[in-house]
């Protein structure tokens, strides 16, 4: 029985399949002008479908971590251009009146002295001594030594006035401590005249200002009398030292 089945199967496999007729295409009368259409390609055998993997990121996202440390500040940027000037604000209200100052703290220093007697210098250098006081605030001018002593440091103004003597030379120095600052000079003349010299000096505490006669080869003299005063020496504080 098995042999008969195998024989039948072999005969069936050897029988050729009937040939299929050649396919024909419908043509029109004008189809000879166009190329024939190619038959559609047969479907590909064993076609594998495309597989795409999609991952849900919300499933893989972990929990929120802790806040990290603050980073190092960066470098300062370049300064920008200045802005436009703002609108002027309203005027402020007037402030309260301050308390009155202490009159004892007002710093003052001034003097004005004169000499009634004429003087011929006998020494090479001779201090000019005065015998008349007009003003001497605080007794800063020493009448015995003929010197002004600075008790209030600052800037001072000084002035010397003298009357020359006929045919005699007049030569004086206005001194700051032991240094001459300005000269008052008149050469011998048959007429006597009034001479004046002024200067401003910056003084420190205990500085001295005075006038001295300077004798050279000629007689050095200044004129005055008992009636009128021709010789004066003045000084006052202009601005105390800050």
Walking along the chain (242 residues) 10 residues at a time, the average pLDDT comes out as 50 48 56 56 63 68 79 82 85 78 76 92 85 95 96 97 88 94 88 91 96 81 87 96 88
What proportions of the chain, in percent to the nearest 5, are helix, strand and coil?
A: 10, 30, 55
> Total domain count for the chain?
1
Give the pair of three-digit tokens for residue 17: 């399949």
Question: Hey, CA dihedral for 27, 32, 33, 34, is it positive or negative?
Answer: positive
44 part of a folded domain: no
231 part of a folded domain: yes
Burial-class residue 203 by CB neighbours within 10 Å (0-12, 13-18, 19+). Answer: buried
205 part of a folded domain: yes
The full DSSP string for 56-121 is -HHHH-----PPPPPPPPPPPPPPPPP-PPPPPPPPPPPPPPPPPPPGGG----EEEEEE-S-EE-
80 part of a folded domain: no
57 part of a folded domain: no
178 part of a folded domain: yes
Q: Which residues span the domain enclosing 215?
A: 110-240
Q: Which pLDDT does position 70 carry in this prediction?
A: 84
Strand partners, 179: 176
**Distance between CA atoms of residues 160 and 196, nearest Å:** 6
Q: Which pLDDT does position 26 carry in this prediction?
A: 57
**Distance between CA atoms of residues 240 and 156, nearest Å:** 9
Q: Which pLDDT does position 13 carry in this prediction?
A: 46
**Distance between CA atoms of residues 212 and 146, nearest Å:** 9
Q: Which of 160, 158, 182 is nearest to 110 (CA)?
A: 158
Q: Residue 232 maps to which CATH number? A: 2.60.120.40
131 part of a folded domain: yes
172 part of a folded domain: yes
């Amino acid at each position: 029985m098995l042999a008969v089945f195998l024989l039948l199967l072999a005969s069936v496999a050897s029988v050729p399949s009937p040939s299929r007729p050649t396919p024909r295409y419908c043509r029109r009368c004008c189809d000879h002008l166009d190329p024939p259409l190619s038959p559609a390609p047969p479907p590909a055998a064993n076609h594998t479908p495309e597989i795409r993997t999609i991952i849900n990121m919300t499933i893989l996202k972990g929990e929120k971590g802790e806040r990290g440390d603050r980073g190092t500040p960066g470098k300062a940027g370049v300064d920008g251009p200045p802005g436009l000037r703002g609108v002027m604000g309203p005027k402020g209200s007037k402030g309260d009146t301050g308390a009155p100052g202490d009159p004892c703290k007002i710093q003052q220093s001034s003097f004005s002295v004169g000499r009634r007697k004429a003087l011929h210098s006998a020494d090479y250098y001779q201090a000019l001594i005065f015998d008349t006081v007009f003003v001497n605030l605080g007794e800063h001018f020493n009448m015995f030594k003929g010197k002004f002593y600075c008790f209030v440091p600052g800037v001072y103004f000084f002035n010397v006035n003298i009357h020359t003597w006929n045919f005699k030379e007049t030569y004086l120095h206005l001194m700051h401590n032991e240094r001459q600052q300005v000269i008052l000079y008149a050469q011998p003349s048959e007429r006597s005249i009034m001479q004046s010299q002024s200067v401003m000096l910056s003084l420190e505490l205990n500085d001295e200002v005075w006038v001295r006669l300077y004798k050279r080869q000629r007689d050095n003299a200044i004129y005055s009398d008992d009636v009128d005063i021709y010789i004066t020496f003045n000084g006052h504080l202009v601005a105390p030292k800050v």
